[in-house]
């Protein structure tokens, strides 16, 4: 292998290993240096640093909460949720999904195991819809970045959307639809399905050395993971604050616009990045005149149909179930967004 070929191979390997968030941050910063005057770049960086400093306590608290739940083995209680009367299961699944620490990716093997084990689709759908919207990390970051009231409203919205999705799925399934929700290759795969356990949760995790090490590892990983995405989000927000006219946002997404909520939900479905990036962006939009109902609708619809969540659903279930999932996300977000708009403004 020539020196040039070796260099190209090494560079290609290094690029593949680089984190995409870091690449986007680096590329965005270079683009800012090229396209913007230096005073404007300095203002954006000062805005980003100030925002990161303000969110830092919530970031640390969210990392500790996520690590505690992981080290304690809180995921083990999920096996107890899908037991009992179907109505109780839907309610418990929606509640657990609204409060659970699972991300869009982490929930994939759990859902596969539940469906393959014969867990009722309505209860699984309730959990599946509510889980991407809220978890302890997102709650703390939302409370710090937007406000406690909005964080509580988003949690309630996650629960309500889960309930509506579960009940709707029960009605549809009772009519004869979705009798075999899993894709054939998933339902026949015995090696890719993890076990759902009902083991005891060890809240005093520090008494076990392995759990203590898991806690330390998770805190570090969570801080790095959330930190890079929040850094990107605040950098984008700094540009939005500088270049997007507030009156334009107020005109299209303000409370006086009849199209504000449908536009926000429609934008959230395809354009959403992830919940961590959305928090600073929505905070900036709210300051620029966006109404609270559309803001909530954007975040709920976007969380459910974000790329990781949508790909997870599409990979596991048949197309009619996937389309039903997206439809539930849109309808549920419209309803909860409108309810929140009425609650906050009376409009």
Is 248 inside any structural domain? yes
Is 73 inside any structural domain? no
Is the CB of residue 135 less than 8 Å from the CB of residue 101?
yes
Is 222 inside any structural domain? no
pLDDT in tens, 209-228: 888 888 888 788 778 876 78
Strand partners, 182: 317
Helix axes 246-253, 275-287, angle to 10 degrees: 100
Share of the chain above pLDDT 90, in %: 12
Mean pLDDT across 102-109: 57
Largest CA distance in the chain: 71
Is 134 inside any structural domain? yes
Cα–Cα dist 198/75, whole Å: 9
Of 8-12, 133-137, 207-211, least confident by mean pLDDT is: 8-12
Of 27-41, 49-63, 114-128, 307-321, least confident by mean pLDDT is: 307-321
Q: How many domains does the chain have?
A: 1
Average pLDDT value over all residues in the chain? 76
Is 23 inside any structural domain? no
Is the CB of residue 195 less than 8 Å from the CB of residue 201?
no
Q: What is the pLDDT of residue 14?
A: 41
Q: What is the pLDDT of residue 152?
A: 94
Domain of residue 174: give its range: 79-181+235-345
Cα–Cα dist 301/326, whole Å: 9
Is the CB of residue 261 less than 8 Å from the CB of residue 214?
no
Q: What is the pLDDT of residue 16?
A: 47
**103 contact partners, CB below 8 Å, separation of at least 6:** 132, 135, 308
pLDDT at 104 exceeding the cut of 60: no
Most confident by average pLDDT, 73-77, 204-208, 313-317, 332-336: 332-336
Q: Vertex 340, ends 246 and 236: CA angle to 5°? A: 35
Is the CB of residue 92 less than 8 Å from the CB of residue 81?
yes
pLDDT in tens, 254-296: 666 678 888 888 877 765 556 666 788 788 878 877 888 888 9
Is the CB of residue 243 less than 8 Å from the CB of residue 312?
no
Cα–Cα dist 89/108, whole Å: 19
Cα–Cα dist 301/284, whole Å: 19
pLDDT in tens, 73-83: 765 566 566 67
SS3 176: coil
Mean pLDDT across 105-122: 66
DSSP label at residue 134? -
Is 194 inside any structural domain? no
Whats the size of the chain, residue-wise? Answer: 347
Is 190 inside any structural domain? no
Is the CB of residue 301 less than 8 Å from the CB of residue 271?
no
Q: What is the pLDDT of residue 246?
A: 55
What pTM did the predictor assign? 0.67
SS3 277: helix
Mean pLDDT across 39-61: 83
Is 164 inside any structural domain? yes
Q: What is the pLDDT of residue 124?
A: 85
């Amino acid at each position: 292998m020539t020196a040039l070929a070796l260099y190209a191979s090494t560079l290609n390997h290094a690029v593949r290993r680089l984190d995409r968030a870091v690449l986007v941050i680096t590329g965005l910063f270079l683009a800012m240096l090229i396209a913007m005057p230096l005073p404007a770049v300095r203002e954006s960086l000062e805005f980003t640093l100030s925002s990161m400093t303000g969110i830092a306590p919530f970031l640390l608290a969210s990392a500790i909460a996520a690590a505690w739940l992981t080290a304690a083995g809180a995921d083990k209680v999920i096996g107890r949720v899908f037991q009992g009367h179907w109505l109780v299961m839907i309610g418990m699944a929606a509640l657990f999904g609204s409060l659970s620490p699972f991300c869009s990716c982490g929930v994939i093997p759990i859902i596969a195991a539940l469906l393959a084990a014969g867990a009722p689709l309505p209860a699984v759908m309730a959990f599946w819809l509510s889980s991407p919207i809220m978890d302890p990390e997102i709650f703390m970051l939302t409370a710090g970045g937007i406000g406690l009231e909005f964080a509580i409203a988003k949690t309630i919205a996650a629960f309500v959307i889960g309930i509506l999705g579960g009940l709707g799925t029960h009605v549809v399934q009772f009519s004869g639809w979705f009798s075999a929700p899993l894709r054939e290759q998933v339902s026949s795969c015995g090696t890719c399905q993890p076990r759902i356990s009902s083991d005891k949760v060890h809240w005093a995790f520090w008494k076990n050395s392995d759990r203590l090490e898991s806690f330390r590892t998770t805190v570090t990983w969570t801080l790095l993971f959330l930190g890079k995405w929040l850094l990107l989000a605040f950098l984008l927000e700094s540009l939005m604050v500088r270049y997007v006219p507030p009156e334009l946002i107020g005109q299209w997404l303000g409370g006086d616009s009849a199209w504000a909520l449908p536009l926000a939900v429609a934008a959230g479905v395809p354009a959403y990045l992830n919940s961590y990036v959305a928090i600073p962006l929505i905070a900036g939009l709210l300051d620029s005149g966006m109404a609270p109902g559309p803001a909530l609708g954007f975040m709920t619809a976007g969380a459910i149909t974000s790329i990781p969540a949508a790909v997870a659903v599409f990979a596991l279930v048949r197309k009619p179930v996937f389309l039903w999932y997206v439809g539930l996300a849109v309808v549920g977000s419209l309803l909860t967004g409108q309810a929140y708009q009425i609650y906050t403004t009376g409009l």
